[in-house]
Amino acid sequence: MNLPLITRAEKHNEKIAILVPRGCANATTVGAFTYGDLLYASSQIATNLLKNTEDLQEQRVAFLIPPGFEYVATQWGIWRAGGIAVPLCISHPRPELEYVITNSGAAIIVAHPNFEAILRAIATEQNLRFILTSETLPSDIAPLPDVDITRRALILYTSGTTGKPKGVVTTHQNIQAQVTSLTTVWEWTSSDRILHVLPLHHIHGIVNVLTCALWAGAQCHLLSKFDAEIVWNRICDGDLTLFMAVPTIYVKLIAAWEAASSERQKSMSAGCAKMRLMVSGSAALPVQVLEKWQTISGHFLLERYGMTEIGMALSNPLHGQRWSGYVGKPLPEVEVRLVDENGELVSTRTPGEIQVKSPGVFLEYWQNPQATAKAFQDGWFCTGDTAVVENGNYRILGRMSVDIIKTGGYKVSALEIEEVLRSHPDIQECAVVGVADIEWGERVCAALVLQSSQTLTLESFRSWVKERLAVYKVPTQILTLEELPRNAMGKVIKPTVVELFRL
């Protein structure tokens, strides 16, 4: 028995599934690919991964491929061979890639030739099987295993309140529950065409856009990376029905619209008007961005709320009133409650922690039973986000922990960054904080106490950090202090550090 995602694809054999526009950097395969192409290529990749075995039996397969047809075919190939997909981030430096590969216990690495140098070295050191996407695939398709939907499908790494990212494990059943909830409430159909501009190591890009589109039999137009002009060119073509992005992307699109000629602006706005839905998520949407986008596009952006561990939980309605600053109501099959610090339900209009229960909630943190147990209370997942319900709609108030920073749609651990900064030879102490910013939601900023008589430029500091951390974790601003502000217990007072960056 095939996975339902595969069975559904078979019904759309001749239809276009993936479209990669020409001129896409890093895309070795451009053009239009049908569901039949995707089914055949993924069966070849599955055959190659199996290598004369019957079933990968949940072996982890780490893969690093730019967005495009090869990425999707590889992801499906891993699933069809019975493996767990571990997507890597194309912008991560070697230490971060190595951490994910090692922590997940990947047995196989699949890489696009662009990443051969960095990944072959890791595979050789760790004695892992290494496959390049440019290798010739087998033409004889092996019998593929029956993969039950209760099996583990995906491990995505997300920053928590304690240092290093944790591997969030979702099953095929979890993903299916997330997808069916969204396709129902946002009324996806096989005639939809969505432009995909989001990272493909993140739940927003993998589930909300890519998998929802392919579940519905729709077309997914994949860009290899976000480029405001290319995105506007595609919107101007007027054939798209859906668009989903993070607030940072909408800010960049607004800037490009404002810089365009009045004739071009009309064409841009007309392209937006032809779409049926535009969504913003992964970070709070500033009201002025929402209002400016509405002026440009005619769309009141639909905000929703979710996270790696739960998929999407809350959404404004597709039809009907949407409220600025609110993320709507629970999605189908999703239960949400607000509790106080004692785990008791809060009264109406009282802030509380968001807790979620649904078939889409993840299975476990990879090989971390303590963290998994700590994340649940009586079967409810504790999100660590606070909210309040007003007129039946949820309004997110922020993270409960000051050590979680939301920047450009990414959730970043201040503690992880601090750990790396402390290894810098010139840094004695540091405190990393998020400072409110209209484009990024929050900017990552670092207050530093340097070793005696040392100086540090922002440029040399950032260059050093970029070799060790993903670019979105690299502080954009530094402040050198004689000492960090601390309370009577010696704990750094982070709200005071935030204020210092606002002076």
3-state SS of 194-253? EEECCCCCCHHHHHHHHHHHHHHCCEEEECCCCCHHHHHHHHHCCCCCEEEECHHHHHHH
Neighbour-count burial of 256, counting CB atoms closer than 10 A to its CB (0-12 exposed, 13-18 middle, 19+ buried): middle
- In the chain, the percentage of residues whose pLDDT exceeds 70 is 97
Question: For residue 24, is pLDDT > 60?
Answer: no
pLDDT at 23 over 60: no
Range of lowest pLDDT (71-75, 352-356, 484-488): 484-488
Determine contact, residues 369/352, Cβ cutoff 8 Å: no
- Where residue 82 falls among pLDDT bands split at 50, 70, 90? very high
pLDDT at 452: 83
- Indicate the range of 20-29, 191-200, 309-318, 490-499 predicted with least confidence: 20-29
Q: Which residues contact 329 (CB under 8 A, 6 or more apart)?
A: 314, 315, 317, 392, 393, 394
Instruction: Give the pLDDT of residue 185.
Output: 98
- What digits encode the pLDDT tens for the residues 424-472? 999 988 999 999 999 999 999 999 999 888 889 999 999 999 999 999 9
Query: Residue 416: pLDDT above 70?
Result: yes
What is the predicted pLDDT for the residue at 404? 85
pLDDT above 60: residue 79: yes
Q: What CATH class has 302-399?
A: mainly beta
Question: Once rounded to an integer, what is the mean pLDDT over residues 36-47?
Answer: 98
**Average pLDDT of the residues in 296-302:** 98
Q: What is the mean pLDDT of residues 238-255?
A: 96
Query: Could you write out the three-class secondary structure of 178-193?
Result: HHHHHHHHCCCCCCCE
User: pLDDT tens digits, residue range 110-146?
Assistant: 999 999 999 999 999 999 999 999 999 999 999 999 9
Confidence of residue 283 (pLDDT cuts 50, 70, 90): confident
pLDDT value at residue 403: 85
Domain segments of the chain as ranges: 8-229, 302-399, 404-502
Residue 486, pLDDT score: 86
pLDDT at 28: 53
Cβ neighbors of 373 (< 8 A, separation 6 or more) are none
The CATH T-level fold of domain 404-502 is: GMP Synthetase; Chain A, domain 3 (3.30.300)
pLDDT band at 488; cut points 50, 70, 90? confident
pLDDT score of 336:
98
Would you say residue 233 has pLDDT above 80?
Answer: yes
Q: Which pLDDT does position 366 carry in this prediction?
A: 98
Q: What was the pLDDT predicted at 429?
A: 87
Name the pLDDT band for 241 (thresholds 50, 70, 90). Answer: very high
In the 3-class helix/strand/coil scheme, how is 39-53 assigned residue by residue?
Answer: HHHHHHHHHHHHCCC
Distance CA 427, CA 464 (A): 12
Superfamily of domain 8-229: ANL, N-terminal domain (3.40.50.12780)
Give the pLDDT of residue 159: 78
365-402 pLDDT, tens digit per residue, is 999 999 999 999 999 999 999 999 999 999 998 878 88
Q: What is the reported pLDDT for 162?
A: 63
Q: How far is CA 216 from CA 4, 17, 67, 377, 495, in A?
A: 12, 10, 20, 34, 45
Other beta carbons less than 10 A from residue 258's beta carbon: 10
Give the tokens for residue 128: 């892992």
**Which of the pair, 247 or 84, is modelled with greater confidence?**
84
Q: What percent of the chain has pLDDT over 90?
A: 85
The reported pLDDT for the residue numbered 348 is 84
More confident residue, 86 or 22: 86
Q: Please, what is the average pLDDT of the chain?
A: 94
Average pLDDT over every residue of 181-187: 98
